[in-house]
Chain A
């Protein structure tokens, strides 16, 4: 029974890592990466490491995600298509910001 939960968590980990790697939209990749950190924090708890679970939850969901979002905000949101010369969606920022 406990093995089944660990197996499901590990499978979810692989799926979210693949989704973060293969998506074109960088903002979507970062939100999925935050989900990856959440599943990793649950796995640390399954492996009986409470300090690591606390730190990974705070660092992965709080610090790393906001740093990545700030970096995207300063640069561009969409990954560039290979072979195209012009930037697509390069000036696109979140709604409401001038």
Chain B
């Protein structure tokens, strides 16, 4: 338990993950869900990069007399760089789907969307031809 106070970066990442998960599950608005998804992604990035930390570490760039033994771990940083770009691409595609959904149904609330979807598919074949 005392190590939790030493690993406060990891604890903050776990708390942020739960906040993001709350936003995805409980909030009915779709844009809130996308914001929650982004918070979850950045919390995982925080966890991975802070696992590479070394006491008294310096940035992993040679030159200017930096010795290699004191550098922090460069592998998580390289992977998370890819991860940030993939996260923004995913957000862009999700937002374009939200725009299309709003054009089609006129609402962004998940409960109302599900009701309208049920009422469209219940009379078989009648609601799918119009639009």
A associates with B = yes
B49 contact set on A, CB distance < 8 A: 44, 47, 49, 52
Number of A-B contacts (CB under 8 A): 115
Complex: A50 Cα to B66 Cα, angstroms: 15
Complex: A56 Cα to B45 Cα, angstroms: 11
A68 contact set on B, CB distance < 8 A: 31, 34-35, 91, 95
Interface residues of A (CB under 8 A from B): 6-7, 10, 13-14, 17-18, 20-21, 26, 29-30, 33, 36-37, 40, 43-44, 47-52, 55-56, 59, 63-64, 67-68, 70-72, 74-76, 79-80, 82, 87
Please name the residue on chain B nearest to A54 by beta carbon.
B81
Question: Do the beta carbons of A79 and B32 come within 8 Å of each other?
Answer: yes
Question: Do the beta carbons of A79 and B29 come within 8 Å of each other?
Answer: yes
A59 contact set on B, CB distance < 8 A: 84-85, 88
Classify the interface of chain B: helix, strand, loop or mixed. helix
* Residue B98 lies at the interface, judged by CB distance under 8 Å to chain A: yes
Extra pairs beyond A13-B16, A79-B32 (7, CB < 8 Å): A21-B35, A21-B39, A26-B29, A47-B50, A48-B60, A50-B61, A56-B84
B111 contact set on A, CB distance < 8 A: 82
- B residues contacting the other copy or chain, number (CB 8 A): 47
CB distance from A25 to the nearest CB of B (A): 11
Classify the interface of chain A: helix, strand, loop or mixed. helix
Contact of B91 among A10, A67, A79, A80 (CB under 8 A): A67
Complex: A71 Cα to B38 Cα, angstroms: 15
Complex: A37 Cα to B86 Cα, angstroms: 16
Question: Do the beta carbons of A48 and B58 come within 8 Å of each other?
Answer: yes
Complex: A30 Cα to B28 Cα, angstroms: 16
